[in-house]
Structure 1
Amino acid sequence: MHAAESKTISVSIQRSLQDVYDFMSQPASFAHWASGLGKPLGNEGTVWRFEGDNGPVKVRFTGRNAYGVLDHTVELPDGTEVHVPMRTVANGTGTEVLFTLFRVQGMSDEKFAADAQWVTRDLNALKALLEAQ
């Protein structure tokens, strides 16, 4: 199996690493900025259910940790699983949030570019939300 094409998308947030990580490590917070996830429908431990565009979506989140890791796996309504590596990294008094997008086998250039734009839009929403607080 060949490595999938990937693109790492980042945003700089003018808030401390602790503030950003404390907010983002609460899975319910994703509903406030991740446009693909609607309201939380409940959870069992680190597995959360959200309203998705095409039905309920399950998301398995990495537990809180000392490394700023926010990896999660999204299970779509059709059973497809998408692994999402995500990190928070201190940058002076601010924080970098890094999201790695993998190109799914068979995905067109247009769809991959559209997904990257979607992630960028969501990360900018996260930035606006956290910098407004």
Structure 2
Amino acid sequence: MNIQSCVEVRNEWDIVKARQEGRNIAKELGFGSVDQARITTAISELARNIYLYAGKGRIEISNLDSSGKIGLRIIASDDGPGIKDIRKVMEDGFTTSGGLGAGLPGVKRLMDEFSIDSKENEGTEIITTKWLR
């Protein structure tokens, strides 16, 4: 089974669309309602960051099947300004938007795997995975 979705994020409605796509794929893969909520929250945060800081980018959602383990992978990418200090944005409570600062550390806690690659003036790519239990 190969399920994939790519949502271009350019406005707030695209954030909603990415969340819905993520929830639908998670449900189709058999994730329970709690994990569906975790996944959609992570997608929402990642898409919101693209919209706020890069202006545009994409959320790619796909299923994984690794040695019989089923999972859902989210790749959030943009060609924006990049993140100057990754360690700083990964601190709980750090915010540049006046939000709660749950941001990327929250996404990392909600998911099972998390990696971030960002280059100044080139963009950011965040890859995160949730495994079906």
**What is the TM-score of this pair, normalised by structure 2?**
0.33
Higher strand share: 1
Higher helix share: 2
**What is the TM-score of this pair, normalised by structure 1?**
0.33
